[in-house]
Structure 1
Amino acid sequence: MMLAGTAHAQQATPAEPAPAVDQAGTSAVPPQDNVTTLGEVRAIKPEDDQPLDLYRFKNPVQAAPNRFSKNWSEPPTPEQVGMSGGYVMMGIVYGVTKAAQGLNKLTGGPDQIQSAIARPPPELSEDERQRAAEYCAANGCTAPER
């Protein structure tokens, strides 16, 4: 008797009947009004391009930039050293760069990287202002003022 009860419990339950379909191929079941849809999902690119390492230590303290941040640079990794030609080549490039900066300072030449300087807006001559006023009077726009 117990074996019969176990065998009966293991049998699959009958599936729900399929919705009735008329000859036109449309469902005879009325549409549901309470259909739940998902909202918009956006994938955000991580801040660093490193692969996700769940066991990597991530410092919870983020120090704000200060006066020492400008002059401090991290030492290159062995991979970066290898990609840039080794320590000897990096030293040569560093020395040439410093020599060029010193020579530039001695000769009084402009820096290699210069900040942008905005120029003043262009001024219209009296004749150009007169023509602009006449054009705007005919076409219904506002003429530039002095």
Structure 2
Amino acid sequence: MALAGAAQAQQAAPVEEPAPAVDAAPPAEGVRTLEEVRALKPEDDQPLDLYRFRNPVKVESNRFSRSWSEPPTPEQVSLSGGYLMMGINYGLQAAARGLHKLSGGRDQIQSAVARPPPELSEEQRRRALRFCAQQEGCVAPPGD
């Protein structure tokens, strides 16, 4: 009986009509292109761990994010040589910052300072006006 029901179901299945053919010609306004696609780097490069806790709350950075650093995990401590080596390294970094501050040296990363636009002397302006008068279609810069 089950075989007869399956056979009837196969025979009674409606035949789907093929979809209408799409025009092969491009549209009148030109060739359409896809929008820009960007590949984003994954947030963490660690392998997927299904049993790891993932905090559903994403906190945006604020003014305290610069000075706050998470304490190292035991794995990070062991990879960096243990607590004794980490303490020595933190002490050396603090001494280097203090020495840098005492010596008054420039920071390694400095903000860019734009130079002022060039100012022409009175003689240079007169020369530029004479040169511009010799040229055809030259527009002289406005004088101060």
Alignment TM-score, normalising by the size of structure 1: 0.53
Corresponding residue of 1:26: none
Task: Output one character per residue of 1:27-69: Cα deviation in whole Å (capped at 9) or x when no partner.
Answer: xxx9546xxx9x6484552672356778723116x36614x43
Corresponding residue of 1:45: 40
- Percent identical among aligned pairs is 52
- Shift of the 13–129 alpha-carbon distance from structure 1 to 2, 3 Å rule, reads same
User: Is 2:7 the partner of 1:10?
Assistant: no
- Shift of the 11–145 alpha-carbon distance from structure 1 to 2, 3 Å rule, reads same
- Shift of the 42–94 alpha-carbon distance from structure 1 to 2, 3 Å rule, reads same
Corresponding residue of 1:89: 85
Task: Report the Cα distance in structure 2 between the residues aligned to 1:46 and 1:73, rounded to whole angstroms.
Answer: 23
Corresponding residue of 1:65: 62
Q: CA deviation at 1:75?
A: 1.7
Alignment TM-score, normalising by the size of structure 2: 0.54
Q: Is the 8 A contact 1:132 1:144 kept in 2?
A: no
Q: CA deviation at 1:2?
A: 9.6
- Shift of the 116–6 alpha-carbon distance from structure 1 to 2, 3 Å rule, reads closer
Task: Output one character per residue of 1:60-97: Cα deviation in whole Å (capped at 9) or x when no partner.
Answer: 6x36614x433221123344444544433332222122
Task: Report the Cα distance in structure 2 between the residues aligned to 1:4 and 1:96, rounded to whole angstroms.
Answer: 85
User: Is 2:104 the partner of 1:130?
Assistant: no
- Shift of the 3–12 alpha-carbon distance from structure 1 to 2, 3 Å rule, reads same
Q: Is the 8 A contact 1:81 1:87 kept in 2?
A: yes
Q: CA deviation at 1:6?
A: 5.1
Count residues with an aligned counterpart: 129
Q: CA deviation at 1:111?
A: 4.0
- Shift of the 76–128 alpha-carbon distance from structure 1 to 2, 3 Å rule, reads farther
- Shift of the 74–10 alpha-carbon distance from structure 1 to 2, 3 Å rule, reads same
Which of these two proteins has the greater Rg computed from alpha carbons?
1
Corresponding residue of 1:106: 102
Q: Give the residue type in structure 2 aligned to 1:65.
A: N
